[in-house]
Amino acid sequence: MKEFTALYNPSDMKRQSPININTHDKSFPTVTQDEALTTKFASKVSYKNVRRPNDHAFDYELVGKDMEFKTSLSQWWFPEIDPISFTPAQFHFHKGRGAAKGENDNGSEHTVNGHHLDLEMHIVNLNLNKDTQDKFIAAVIGIVFQAGHEDNEETFADKSFKKLFHDEPVNFNEDFFQHMNMGERYVYRGSLTTPPYSEPLLWNFMPEVISISQKTLSYFGGNERVRKEFNDKGGQIQFGGANRMPKAINGRQIIKVDIDDQTTAAFENEVTYFTQEQDESLYTQKLDLLKTYLTQM
């Protein structure tokens, strides 16, 4: 952490994430169309060898061919360029312990009307096109969860996470993302929420709060099985990392997306699984960009 602080000073950066989303704010421009919207995520996920170095949490790699997250909303800020096609790369979780300010700051990074939710998931989609990387190097989809319902009322999220924790194959499209509503989201220009806090990010925050069970939530805090399996040198391994506190909006425009009938967008094309050996070059390209994006921007 120390070396990053020397290189990057987030207080000089004016488009930082997370932020608070005020759903009652009537001043947000509302967008009712996203012509280029395409959401094709992985047919398999894997967390092997992609542990995050800083906070002992895991990144889950999205594995598949022809994956795409495409949106026209990059044109809100850069109307002169084509809608950007991002390549889904990984997802991870934030379940902060509110160490900075106490119990009320537990959980998610983004807040909704001033309140944290229990858990936040980030799906990171990379822009592999060098011509537009200075505009948006990645698009991140933020999804929040709240624990509450009884353990016997499993939601799609409970089922998907259970598979993840038990090393069972998860079809990310069908088991998870198809249940999301991309027609309702808040889009803004923001940053990574971990060092080096790089700013050219297109944030897509989804305000729908997904219900999970208390049991599912407990897995993210470092459960016994995870500890036993992954514990090295006594460190506490968690499925969810820390949470950064919301930052000033500094006059940034937040776009409210409100589109009917986009509950399941563009799932007709099956994403196929490939191994690292079968497509070494794309895999290397993604890893290189992730490395750059996490250390040098």
Q: Which residues bind Zn ion (CB under 5 A)?
A: 122
How far apart are the C-alpha atoms of 184 and 201, rounded to whole Å? 19
Question: Of 40 and 122, which CB lies nearer to Zn ion in the complex structure?
Answer: 122
Minimum distance of Zn ion from residue 269's CB (angstroms):
27
Minimum distance of Zn ion from residue 259's CB (angstroms):
25
Minimum distance of Zn ion from residue 233's CB (angstroms):
25
Minimum distance of Zn ion from residue 192's CB (angstroms):
7
How far apart are the C-alpha atoms of 76 and 44, rounded to whole Å? 32
Residue whose Cβ sits closest to Zn ion: 122
Question: Of 194 and 216, which CB lies nearer to Zn ion in the complex structure?
Answer: 194
Alpha-carbon distance values, 297 to 4, 163, 286, 291 (Å): 11, 34, 15, 10
Peptide bond into 88 cis (omega under 30): no
Minimum distance of Zn ion from residue 193's CB (angstroms):
5
With CA atoms as reference, report the closest residue to 37 among 192, 208, 207, 181: 181
Question: Of 122 and 189, which CB lies nearer to Zn ion in the complex structure?
Answer: 122
> Mind giving me the DSSP string for 177-244?
GGGS-TTEEEEEEE--SSTT----EEEEEEEEEEEEEHHHHHHTTT-HHHHHHH--TTPPP-SSB--P
> Alpha helix locations (H) across the chain?
2-7, 156-165, 214-219, 224-230, 280-295
With CA atoms as reference, report the closest residue to 46 among 151, 136, 163, 144: 163
Minimum distance of Zn ion from residue 76's CB (angstroms):
23
Question: Of 154 and 186, which CB lies nearer to Zn ion in the complex structure?
Answer: 186
Are 134 and 189 in contact by the 8 Å Cβ rule? The answer is: no
Minimum distance of Zn ion from residue 176's CB (angstroms):
17
Question: Of 108 and 262, which CB lies nearer to Zn ion in the complex structure?
Answer: 108
For residue 154, how many C-alpha atoms fall within 13 Å in the half-sphere facing its CB?
9
**CB-based burial, 250-272: b 16+ in 10 Å, e otherwise:** eeeebbbbebeebeebbeeeebe
Question: Of 40 and 92, which CB lies nearer to Zn ion in the complex structure?
Answer: 92
How far apart are the C-alpha atoms of 241 and 239, rounded to whole Å? 7
Peptide bond into 29 cis (omega under 30): no
Question: Of 183 and 221, which CB lies nearer to Zn ion in the complex structure?
Answer: 221
Minimum distance of Zn ion from residue 270's CB (angstroms):
28
Question: Of 95 and 122, which CB lies nearer to Zn ion in the complex structure?
Answer: 122
For residue 167, how many other CB atoms are within 10 A of its CB? 11
